[in-house]
Amino acid sequence: MSNLRSLLLLACLSLFAPSVHALECAPATCGTVEAHLMPGASAGDKIEAAIAALPSNGGYVDATGFPNPQNLSGFTIPPGVTVKLGPVFHTLPCGSPITVNQGGRLIGSGTNSPGATYIKLFNNCNHNVIELISTAGETDWWHSGELAWIRVDGNKANNTAGNGVAVYQIGEISQIHNMMIVNAAEAGLYSKGGTSGVQSIDNVHVGNNGEAGVRFDEFRSAIYLKSVGGDANPITFHILGARTGGGTIYIAAPKSEAISSINASTIVFEGGSASVNLTLAGGNFLAEHLGTIQKTITILPATPSPYIQIIGTYLGNIGAIVDDQVNGVMVVPDDLGPVCVSSNICKIMDFKYYDGQWQTFPDVGPHPNLSGTFSMDDVRIVE
């Protein structure tokens, strides 16, 4: 009898209880919106509407509910907002890129195929696919932002300009990681201006881009890259116009294979008003184009001499380790003795170059291969 009374009581209460949906809070309170349920002509329009429905202190936009494929018109992610994209093929129409402001986050569902979050620029747009930029413009810092787990395609076959991802003044606590950036008319990853030194770019593949895999424009301060590189770029890392005291670029476990133009170079230093310290640690550079031996590092005329250090990097099919066109110096594998196991294959354990002079330390024994002499005022010798 008591069980029957309990059941009757529960039934009566259910008549007056609010529905499950009524208990859900509005987006302006909860801070979470499902984008595919919002009004709009394209996925980008719906995402913009979802962002507008969030509270003023930001929130989360779930954009994983769209069917495949989608048109993704450009939208802007303001500070404090995270947008999550699903494993869908998105075409970005001409007009404007996808913009992520400081403190914003754009996260995909993966770069693998099938299952990738894929964003491809449409024909004849000639602009960037994704821009990471402060609300104050490209001269201010992009702090506390994140871009991850997306495959970006710049469609260079049908565009003459535009980068895959462009970041301006990458700042503190910012991350670009687990990205695949291919087929951009200009650079796969383009970074302009200062770098705060408290950020990271890691696990980024840049392939088959028109001008460079990664390009640093007006570089200064310090940046750390880990497991960044790719295949079939004319230049893998292009360091252009360093300024205001220069700075340090540290690349751990880089990769470059099959650079796409004859007489090209994996790394190019060009112009600027300040010197850059470059360290390569580990990784491999196989710089071959259709059987033509290429260069690892080229220093173009009118460039302040960089300080270069290579630690434990495998160099294969290399015609020159350094082509210094400022000092008229070419460091070739035959000059490096036992560091190189053949005329074009080197396993560099410790190599340093500065202002026309170089030094190599093999991994065992004394240091017999000393070509040129360094001033201790110029470089730091690590033994």
Residue 342 has a pLDDT of: 65
With beta carbons less than 8 A apart as the criterion, state whether 101 and 141 touch: no
pTM: 0.87
pLDDT-derived band at 332, boundaries 50, 70, 90:
confident
Output 22 or 284, whichever has higher pLDDT.
Answer: 284
pLDDT at 22 over 90: no
pLDDT tens, position by position, 62-104 = 999 999 999 999 999 999 999 999 999 999 999 999 999 999 9
Please give the DSSP secondary-structure letter assigned to residue 243.
-
Residue 375 CA: distances (Å) to CA of 12, 80, 328, 335, 378: 90, 50, 20, 21, 5
Residue 362 has a pLDDT of: 55
Please give the DSSP secondary-structure letter assigned to residue 170.
B
Residue 366 has a pLDDT of: 37
3 state DSSP class of 257? strand
pLDDT-derived band at 252, boundaries 50, 70, 90:
very high
3 state DSSP class of 290? coil
Residue 71 has a pLDDT of: 95
List, in order, residues 6 or more apart from 116 with CB less than 8 Å away. Answer: 87, 108, 109, 110, 150, 151, 180
Here the tokens at position 276 are 């850059």
pLDDT tens, position by position, 346-369 = 888 788 999 988 887 654 333 334
Residue 315 has a pLDDT of: 86
User: Which of 253-257, 328-332, 341-345 has the least mean pLDDT?
Assistant: 341-345
Q: Are strands 345-348 and 340-342 parallel, antiparallel or unpaired?
A: antiparallel
Report the mean per-residue pLDDT for the chain: 85
pLDDT at 9 over 70: no
CA dist 367 and 31 (Å) reads 62
With beta carbons less than 8 A apart as the criterion, state whether 205 and 179 touch: yes
Give the phi and the psi of residue 50 in degrees, each rounded to 5: -65, -40
Percent of all residues in the chain with a pLDDT value above 70, rounded to a whole number: 82
Q: Report, as an integer, the average pLDDT of 190-198.
A: 85
Percent of all residues in the chain with a pLDDT value above 90, rounded to a whole number: 62
Residue 20 has a pLDDT of: 35
Q: Report, as an integer, the average pLDDT of 238-265.
A: 84
pLDDT at 296 over 70: yes
Establish how many alpha carbons lie within 13 A of residue 207's alpha carbon, considering only the half-sphere containing its beta carbon: 13
pLDDT at 376 over 60: no
Residue 3 CA: distances (Å) to CA of 11, 12, 14: 12, 14, 17
With beta carbons less than 8 A apart as the criterion, state whether 238 and 215 touch: yes
DSSP track, 126-154: -S-SEEE-BTTBTTS-B-S-EEES-EEE-
Residue 329 CA: distances (Å) to CA of 26, 299, 300, 354: 67, 10, 11, 11
3 state DSSP class of 287? coil
CA dist 347 and 282 (Å) reads 10
Question: Max alpha carbon distance in the chain (Å)?
Answer: 101
CA dist 69 and 90 (Å) reads 6
Q: Report, as an integer, the average pLDDT of 250-278.
A: 86
CA 127 to chain centre: 17
